[in-house]
Structure 1
Amino acid sequence: MTTSTLHLQVLALTIFLVCAAAVTPASAQPWPGCPDKCGDISIPYPFGVGTGCARDPYFELECNRTYSPPRLIVFTHRQHLLNLSLADGEAIALINARRQCYNSTEGLVNETSVDRAVTLVGSTAYRFSAERNRFVALGCPNMGYFVDTDGYYVSGCTSFCRPSSQKLVASSTGCTGEGCCQSRIPTDTIYYAQYIQTFKPGEGDPILRGGTTACRYVFLADAEWFNSGYRGDFNRSDDFAVPVVLDWAIRNVGNCEIAVLNRTDYACRSANSECIDSTNGQGYRCRCSMGYEGNPYLDGGCKGATPKHTYH
């Protein structure tokens, strides 16, 4: 089977992130005596690998060295991380898409072997990024949607193909409904279960008698990655994963105003740091003050930035 466009894009993203991580930033400082990397991915505190290396269990990571290169895993929810950013408060995880494939009479012949639900429930660190991600449905006819922990609809969209369409193609104007559609997700999302609603040939409105594709897919994905990289044929019948952006924050209190009242637990440890309220759920993050760089979560972690030389 020919490697799909989407698979190549995931591979390209992985290579880019690994190469970008090859130069360790000043902020990539671990807790003293703890590992600073898993493979080529830096592990800055408040994250950590090993006992006593993370701020709390929700920031604890696992470095699975049975893979080559080693894989960085979210310890509490088992997501595979491709990247971890202290400055942006983001992590990129590889998460499985959902797939269903049909015969000519719309009988189900093949579907994803993994669970339809993806969860961060119980996490005091991560949320699915509402700003960076989009929920995507591919294939025709396909009403893709996801539900919350109570089974209620959260977000979704519907894609159709014109009768002349013989292949699943995202139009040159973007993923706008023909063969592909996308929708936004709400903030503070920690769980989604992915569903595909298909239709019998010729049922109902004439639009349902348009072109069909053998397989249909739904997934949450990094919008920038998907919209800039996906074009053309897509008809794979194996399991695959796509990059999803996670927002992380210190979430044991509502915001900075509350956090600073408890200096013992306050996460912004460096004297040259400042607090930023989370924009995705409750909590806050820390950053070095202007003119400083490093890790604001460590005592003395933010140091004076090295001036850039100018030449005349």
Structure 2
Amino acid sequence: MLLAAASSQLAGGEQAPPMTISPRCLAECGNLKIPYPFGTGPGCFLGGFEVICNHTFFPPRLFLVHSLDDHTYAQEVFTSGTYSTDDIEHTSNMSEWDTMRMEIMDISVSRAELRLYAAVSSDCGIRPPYHSFTHVTTRLHPEGPFLISAIRNVLIGVGLNVEVQLSTSMRGSYGGLITGCISQPNSTIAAKEGPCSGLGCCEAAFPEGLWQATVVADRKRTDWYTSENVICSFGMLVEKGWYNYSSEDVYGDEYCLSKKYPKGVPQVLSFAVGNLSCPRQGQRPPQGYACLSGNSSCVDASNRTGYVCKCLKHYDGNPYIRGAGGCQDIDECQLREHYSKLRKKYPCSIGGICKNKIGGYDCPCKPGMKGDGRTGTCTEKFPVPAKMAVEAL
């Protein structure tokens, strides 16, 4: 992320070239860039990567399309209702069923992922013994390009004695249970604010390969009615490391997290293109091969059919398009000069001189010195003892 941002800022202050397949394609929506293979309008996106720029908002907002006709199916499904803890089977009364498009926070072609806003599931004690609930399902097309990233997301539950589950069932039934977690304290234990520690909130990892997952907050607790206030439990499938526990989240009403995060919480999807593996070395690429930049490579997707395109080492840009917007040589010397975080990535000691070249950089020692500037072994060719001996004559 830093490299891409830095590269675009060092080209003499100029804007980076558009990352679209054609100048006629929409390159931005509000404050978000739309890099190909994503796009709006005919000829501007790969199959499954269509997005919609909604101009009824200010600034405009970007959404994934959900249409079965073009095999793009990405939506959020909300299931709401009530149940009674007196019912031994805890049978749910589903009163509402609604779907929404998923709004995009940002897209990264280099990481083959996009971040979306996702809603939060809840379960609240209304009055003994009744509870109201909302289950939130992320639903993607099983043959589409997207999956819920298990590497970049985590299941989190927030509440007093909260039990949260991740299920493949849109009704949140236990038969489709994938994973879950339980927070330990009751109202008499003070949980520390900060990252989830099992106190006040809990978290759980889940397996790769999910195209549908429903988050279910606590369903069967009967020990909530210790306060005159409504006490809720919350569950979310959220970007790993993003959420910090706060006691106000536990003691808020059903809408406290919705007020705190009105658009939702960040959730990460990974993507791959095509339904074939990368062509073998020397093999002619198949028709529709997506890695169009001459400075790109193909990497097979690890958890599905298809592949992703990557810029070669020492190049940056969009591997899915040709020309100026594709993978271009980066100037490592300028990058390490302007961004100290990149000096470890591109080493060149004070005894060396950084010199950019196509596809990399060199770091020879300064004149009068020998060694390797990258490893920091530059030493003077004429050692100090010899200098002192000459000066003594």
TM-score, normalised by the number of residues in structure 1: 0.77
Alignment of 1:154-165 (within 5 A): 154-165=178-189
Aligned residue among 7, 10, 28 for 1:37: 28
- Residue 308 of structure 1: aligned partner: 333
Aligned residue among 267, 290, 297 for 1:244: 267
2:37 matches 1:46: yes
User: Once the two structures are superposed, what CA deviation does each residue of 1:68-106 show, in whole Å capped at 9, x if it has no partner?
Assistant: 111110112221001111111111100111112114635
- Residue 15 of structure 1: aligned partner: none
Q: Do the aligned partners of residues 236 and 123 (structure 1) sit closer, same or farther apart at CA in structure 2, a change above 3 Å counting? A: farther
Q: Percent identity?
A: 27
Aligned residue among 126, 136, 142 for 1:116: 136
2:222 matches 1:200: yes
Q: Give the distance between the partners of 1:244 and 1:37, measured in 2 at CA.
A: 21
2:231 matches 1:231: no
User: Once the two structures are superposed, what CA deviation does each residue of 1:178-229 show, in whole Å capped at 9, x if it has no partner?
Assistant: 2211100110111012223232239xxxxx99xx970001110011211xx4
Q: Give the distance between the partners of 1:297 and 1:149, measured in 2 at CA.
A: 35
Q: Do the aligned partners of residues 39 and 123 (structure 1) sit closer, same or farther apart at CA in structure 2, a change above 3 Å counting? A: farther
Aligned residue among 191, 205, 218 for 2:235: 218
Q: Once structures 1 and 2 are overlaid, which stretch shifts more, 22-31 or 281-290? A: 22-31
CA RMSD of aligned residues (A): 3.2
Gaps in structure 2 of 5+ consecutive residues:
67-73, 75-100, 339-352, 354-393
Q: Do the aligned partners of residues 44 and 217 (structure 1) sit closer, same or farther apart at CA in structure 2, a change above 3 Å counting? A: same
Equivalent AA in structure 1 for residue 241 of structure 2: E
Equivalent AA in structure 2 for residue 224 of structure 1: G
User: Once the two structures are superposed, what CA deviation does each residue of 1:10-58 show, in whole Å capped at 9, x if it has no partner?
Assistant: xxxxxxxxx99x97984851011201101111111111111221011x1
The DSSP-based 3-state class of the residue aligned with 2:104 is strand
Contact 2:160–2:186 (8 Å) recurs in 1: no
2:55 matches 1:65: yes
Alignment of 1:174-189 (within 5 A): 174-189=195-210
Q: Give the distance between the partners of 1:160 and 1:106, measured in 2 at CA.
A: 22
Gaps in structure 1 of 5+ consecutive residues:
1-18, 203-207
Q: Once structures 1 and 2 are overlaid, which stretch shifts more, 74-83 or 25-34? A: 25-34
Equivalent AA in structure 1 for residue 327 of structure 2: C
Q: Do the aligned partners of residues 198 and 261 (structure 1) sit closer, same or farther apart at CA in structure 2, a change above 3 Å counting? A: farther
Q: Give the distance between the partners of 2:60 and 2:208, measured in 1 at CA.
A: 31
Q: Do the aligned partners of residues 255 and 155 (structure 1) sit closer, same or farther apart at CA in structure 2, a change above 3 Å counting? A: farther
- Residue 79 of structure 2: aligned partner: none
Q: By how many angstroms is 1:255 displaced?
A: 4.9
Q: Give the distance between the partners of 1:30 and 1:160, measured in 2 at CA.
A: 50
Q: Do the aligned partners of residues 221 and 153 (structure 1) sit closer, same or farther apart at CA in structure 2, a change above 3 Å counting? A: same
Q: Do the aligned partners of residues 141 and 299 (structure 1) sit closer, same or farther apart at CA in structure 2, a change above 3 Å counting? A: same
Q: Once structures 1 and 2 are overlaid, which stretch shifts more, 272-281 or 129-138? A: 272-281
The DSSP-based 3-state class of the residue aligned with 2:186 is coil
Q: Do the aligned partners of residues 248 and 256 (structure 1) sit closer, same or farther apart at CA in structure 2, a change above 3 Å counting? A: farther
User: Once the two structures are superposed, what CA deviation does each residue of 1:230-249 show, in whole Å capped at 9, x if it has no partner?
Assistant: 43321242245211011111
Q: Once structures 1 and 2 are overlaid, which stretch shifts more, 146-155 or 175-184? A: 146-155
Alignment of 1:255-274 (within 5 A): 255=278, 257=280, 262-274=285-297
Equivalent AA in structure 2 for residue 303 of structure 1: Q
Contact 2:166–2:177 (8 Å) recurs in 1: yes
The DSSP-based 3-state class of the residue aligned with 2:208 is coil
Q: Do the aligned partners of residues 251 and 141 (structure 1) sit closer, same or farther apart at CA in structure 2, a change above 3 Å counting? A: farther
Equivalent AA in structure 2 for residue 281 of structure 1: R
Q: By how many angstroms is 1:163 displaced?
A: 4.5
Contact 1:142–1:198 (8 Å) recurs in 2: no
Give the greater-gyration-radius structure (CA): 2
Q: Do the aligned partners of residues 62 and 138 (structure 1) sit closer, same or farther apart at CA in structure 2, a change above 3 Å counting? A: same
- Residue 167 of structure 2: aligned partner: 147
- Residue 299 of structure 1: aligned partner: 322
Q: Do the aligned partners of residues 49 and 105 (structure 1) sit closer, same or farther apart at CA in structure 2, a change above 3 Å counting? A: same
Equivalent AA in structure 1 for residue 29 of structure 2: C
The DSSP-based 3-state class of the residue aligned with 1:233 is helix
